[in-house]
Structure 1
Amino acid sequence: MTRDELSDWLRLALTPGVGPGTARRLLAAFGLPGAIFAQPRTALLQVATPEQAQALGQLPEALPALVADTWQWLQADPGVRRVVTLGDPAYPQSLLEIADPPLLLHVLGPPQFDLTQLRQAIAVVGSRNPTPQGLGHAKAFGRALGEAGWTVISGLALGVDGAAHEGALEAAGNDPRQLATVAVVGTGLDRVYPARHRPLAQHIARQGLLVSEFPLGTPPLTQNFPRRNRLIAGLARGTLVVEAALQSGSLITARLAAEQGKDVFAIPGSIHSPQARGCHALIRQGAKLVEKVQDILEDLGAQVPPAAPSDRQSGAETEPQEADDPMLAAIGHDPVGLDALVARTGWPAAQLQARLLELEIDGHVARLPGGLFQRIGQA
């Protein structure tokens, strides 16, 4: 792509009042963006409104600076940093099938990876404030999917998203042939949000791809994240929701996946956990209940590998340890307080606290706000 071609695409994307639908009609009518801007007003009026035709004849004020910044960004690391436009052979077919595919995508990652390789990809999304159990599920499912040869797509957010990316990266190791994970972000690719995920983003840039439809310099604006979610759903063959409240972006992603005709999967949780209610609602609406990664792969008609340790740790096989540790049996699978454990076990509070601390240090129990404790499925 030349600098002039880049300028034309960015100009079309920045033109006020010209949304993706109008832009696609203009491209269909006239070809590349440069040809659109060369059209007389009378020709534009055959496709666009008078207001849109007038806007197309004016240079957006922010265009020169954005072209300069984007060109500099691309030239700083050619091949690793690229812009993929609608109609480019590297543009993913799966996004062409959604209602409003973006005009262009900014992509960051090794040149041997591109978005057309996403034939086996699963979106894994969920709460930014998951329970310890949910965080463990996200990482374990991400790892198990990666071990089965699938790419994990998520949004780089705190909580479930980050854990799913980490699990997929662990599965890939340092294999340069495996596109481990794709992070679709709601900012420009010259920014990392949240900032604490900068090391994770750098790891993804070595073993996966970071993708954004938003121009460089775009800050983390609230309205951009729901738009980002349609791309997460669109790039994947199905969407797994690990934990989600009833009002959450994860449910938006699940709804968009269902509207696109994709499979939706959900992990059930405690009836007492607010973070499980979104998953339970999805299951009532027809989402597939998932206990292990084989449930997803079988439903998608994929080859199902033997259960790996990471899949067994995803929460489905924790019972054997209860026989060995009566404390874990007393805790059960829901958050529980110290008073309830005293009543269930008959142990003195001091003895209980000492044993709970041991289990916490060993990674079998997590301490929750409000003085509650919860098991973490690791057996």
Structure 2
Amino acid sequence: MTAVALTQDEAFARIRLLRSANIGPVSYAQLLHRFGSAVEAVAALPDLAARGAKRNYKPAPREKIEREVEATRKARARYLFHDQPDYPALLAAMEGAPPIVTMRGDIALAAKPCVAMVGARNASAAAVKLARDFARELSEEGFVVVSGLAKGIDGACHEGAMPATIGVIASGIDIAYPPQHAKLQEQIASEALLIAEEAPGTEPRGQQFPKRNRIIAGLAMGTVVVEAAPKSGSLITARLAGEAGREVMAVPGHPADSRSQGCNQLIREGAVLVQSAADIVELLSGFDGQPRSSVQEQGPGWLYNESEPEVSADSVVDLLSTAPVAVDELVRQTGGTHGAVQMALLELEIAGRLQRHAGGRVSLG
């Protein structure tokens, strides 16, 4: 999307739009395309929700957004919008990339070659040392190390790479988590780059960590997993990286150590085995700055033209269940245009009746 100069009113409306109930990255983008501005989109939300069978829908209160903006200012942070020139290009290519983040520090770090490093919170002493050494060596080779400020591997990576590091947190920009890393988080914000998707004041909750993980994977050309148990958050980050066409790397470990089972599983499934920072540098040296496979951006082509036959929200609901289905399948079965079906889905989502899934699939909410 072409970069634009935002007025204060439009920037405020964008934050308000994203903070309104049932608005996610996909519906946010569709609403901006549909109405041309967040000011117009916010005004249209109650009518769209009513068309999806939800009455009395109200956008996020202005007073709440005013308090958020003041809290962001007080935290010495600033907003970064999806179509501003310094929004990281690789992150923008991720499916469901955050339309707005808050940040402290040097955003220019995100434009440099980045590698994500993640791993276990209860990591072994040997793995912590290896992660710190890898991160330091990668920073010396000109890479920026991205991680999630968790205990164990994440913290070691940030410390080793400082100040060539980016911390991505699941809380608001003004909340230190875990508390033991408050000093490290402030150091990253002051000397490197700290990024948060949630509003200031937001305490970390379980569902926010996978969202944080997609940002970690999205910022980087590749993700390295140092030590991880099966079904850990680190494996979610690796999966998201792979789905986005980025490199996935893992450090092998002893099969008897449960903390190595996740890494060994990744290698068995096709991740690249790495045993040194030089292995990582060699693998990423051929990366040209573009994902090996990218998610297609939803442009104006999906939009509903009012001269087209309408597809009602109820007719789409009749085809939906709790099992995710591709939007293209709904287009085929309704006989409507892609834009008309997307418009019906948007109405259902704002009404809280629709859930979106990876790969452009939807289900009943």
For normalisation by structure 2, the TM-score amounts to 0.72
Mapped to 2, the partners of 1:160 and 1:16 lie a distance apart of 35
Does the Cα contact within 8 Å between 1:266 and 1:279 map onto a contact in 2? Answer: yes
- The equivalent residue for 1:105 is 101
8 Å Cα contact 1:238/1:265 also seen in 2: yes
Cα distance in 2 for partners of 1:168, 1:116 equals: 14
AA in 2 matched with 1:114: A
Secondary structure of 2:95 counterpart: coil
Change in 2 beyond 3 A, CA 1:36/1:206: same
Give unmatched runs, 5+ long, in structure 1: 173-179, 304-379
Match for residue 52 of structure 2 among 36, 40, 50: 50
Corresponding letter in the other structure for 1:131: S
* Distance (whole Å) between structure 1 residues aligned to residue 263 and residue 104 of structure 2: 32
* Residues 130 and 159 in structure 1, CA contact (< 8 A), matched pair in contact too: yes
Query: What amino acid maps onto 2:91 in structure 1?
Result: L
Residue by residue over 1:159-204, the C-alpha shift from the partner in whole angstroms, topping out at 9 and shown as x without a partner, is 00000000001xx5xxxxxxx1111100000101001101111111
Cα distance per residue 1:214-233 (max 9 Å; x no partner): 11111010110011101100
Structure-1 separation of matches of 2:45 and 2:186: 46
Structure 1 residue 21 and structure 2 residue 26: aligned? yes
2:16–2:65 contact (8 Å) kept in structure 1: no
Q: Give the TM-score normalised by structure 1.
A: 0.69
Greater Rg over alpha carbons, structure: 1
Return closer, same or farther for 1:76/1:300 CA change in 2, 3 Å cut-off: closer
SS state at 2:84 partner: coil
The 5 Å alignment of 1:222-241 reads 222-241=206-225
5+ residue gaps, structure 2: 1-5, 288-365
SS at match of 1:240: strand
Query: Residue in 2 aligned with 1:265?
Result: 249
Q: CA RMSD in A?
A: 2.3
Residues 151-170 of structure 1 mapped to structure 2, 5 A cutoff = 151-169=144-162
Q: Which moves more between the two structures, 197-206 or 147-156? A: 197-206
CA distance in 1, matches of 2:123, 2:179: 19
* Partner SS for 1:153: strand
Residue 96 of structure 2 corresponds to residue 91 of structure 1? no
Q: Give the Cα separation in 2 of the matches to 1:73 and 1:227.
A: 20
- Aligned counterpart, 1:36: 41
Q: Secondary structure at the match of 1:114?
A: helix
Taking the aligned partners of 1:66 and 1:127, their CA distance within structure 2 comes to: 36
Distance, in Å, in 2 between the alignment partners of 1:27 and 1:53 is 22
What is the aligned partner in structure 2 of residue 372 from structure 1?
none
Q: How far 1:31 moved relative to its partner?
A: 2.1
Q: Which residue matches 2:60? A: 60
CA-to-aligned-CA distance 1:132-166 (integer Å, 9 cap, x gap): 11111110111011111100000000000000000
Asked if the contact 2:114/2:145 (under 8 Å) is kept, the reply is: yes
Matching residue within 114, 127, 142 for 2:108 = 114
Residues 4 and 250 (structure 1 numbering): CA distance in 2 closer, same or farther, change over 3 Å? same
Say whether the 8 Å CA contact 1:91–1:115 is kept in structure 2.
no
1:288-320 deviation digits (Å, cap 9, x = unpaired): 1111111111112269xxxxxxxxxxxxxxxxx
Distance in 2 separating the partners of 1:59 and 1:107: 25
Decide whether aligned partners of structure 1 residues 115 and 64 sit closer, same or farther in structure 2, where only a CA change above 3 A counts: farther
Is 1:90–1:115's contact at 8 Å kept on the other side of the alignment?
no
* Count of equivalent residues: 282
